Structure 1
Amino acid sequence: MLTFIFLCLASFAAGFIDAIVGGGGLIQTPAILIILPDYQVATLLGTTKIPSFAGTSIAAWQYSRRVQLNYKLLFSIATVAFLAALGGSRMASSLSNHILKPVILLLLIGVAIYTYANKKFGQQEHNDKIPAHRLWYGALLGLIIGFYDGFIGPGTGSFLILVFIAILGQDFLHASAHAKIVNLATNLASILYFSSTGHILYQYALPMAACNITGSFIGTRLALLKGNRFIRIFFLLVVIGTIIRFACDLY
């Protein structure tokens, strides 16, 4: 019973944070690795994809009702990210992530400094007219982030938001909305792979999904209510937390 309670609390917090700025996996993934240490890492990663997909679905639905989406942009990036996530999931049980973590740590430190120093970052008005070369950059980064989500996962939502802001010129609210759709695609790809290889513990995944949905619903409503400035502050907090989390893993 305590195992279920702790996993559900972690999933609720993950859904809440992920709905606003992404990065919910930084809570959910370490929690399940600690609470269920006797299972294979691939099985635990596969199990977290069910609640992540459920919570992200609710967030994406709520954002789509209030925020105008660029479906052409979403289709291209989500398709690439989906295929990349399949490849990442396939490699999750066989390759180490020790090489990637130092790179991610340095990247996140840079993101935190840039976001804090540039007060207008993610505050500009949304613009649907995106230059063709930026679409290619977005697709390339979607490929990299999609593979990362299938392979490791935590922090994917935050990375996607960064792409939609820094590369594609969106504000935080629109970037959060678009990132949710792409994250749905990567989660779905991982679920398809992990379920086909027997790497999902449904007895834990389903109750975690219910709690993730609840947290996601509350987080999305709060983000839509408070707007860009609130999301920017929350984004900074999550990035700083991510930096601390990766630094602890490394050192």
Structure 2
Amino acid sequence: MDLIGIYLKEAMNEGCPVCRILRSYEESQIDTILYEHVNDPEVRKKFQESLGLCTYHAWKTLKKAYSEPLLGPLGVAIIYESILSRYITSLEERKPLDEGECFLCDLVQQKEKDTVEAFAERIEELLPEYEKSSSILCKRHYEMLLREVGQRDPETADRLRKIQIEKLKGLQKRINSFINKFDYRAEKEPTKEEASSLPLTVEALKGLETGATIREHQEKKRGFLPWR
């Protein structure tokens, strides 16, 4: 197994491995911007083009800046002051101010595509690892992976489908057990495994919130979906 395969295997801990990779990647990109690129002209230009990132990433970046003592809000304040100045000028001059696509969403969406394709390319090695892991692909990433694998090997795609069903049935058993522990006749409290079944069920159905899922929601409302 090559390094990319090992990287994917290590993400098969709990929940959706693709979502976990994307969330980690997104956090690392925000760190890089705040620690290294606040004064980078190219990055500043990208901020200007999207008027300070999308709503989701704007608040996520600000929260990160405030939570890290070594960062603080100064760098973000400098960026947003320049954007605010540009916005004021556009109003004074009665000129429309275009809001481009969020470049962090672009990065995360490309990472998502690359991760699913890498998983599909190594499916023979990774499928047994996925089967024995506690990981469960979310609906979105399962469907993306199934489509990619199906184009390469329909038989392996069917194996993936069967494994996914068994994993979801196991999760269903856990959440039913969790529900039953709330019966007044129950003698025991929910176990840690049972309690975790609720957030894992939400994750299995909706995935984790990242720039990719936020953008998909926005594009569904506009009636356009990329990379299908």
Greater relative contact order, per chain length (Cα 8 Å cut-off, separation 6+): 1
Larger Rg: 2
Instruction: Considering fraction of residues, name the structure with more helix.
Output: 1
Q: Give the TM-score of the pair, scaled to structure 1.
A: 0.28
Q: Give the TM-score of the pair, scaled to structure 2.
A: 0.30
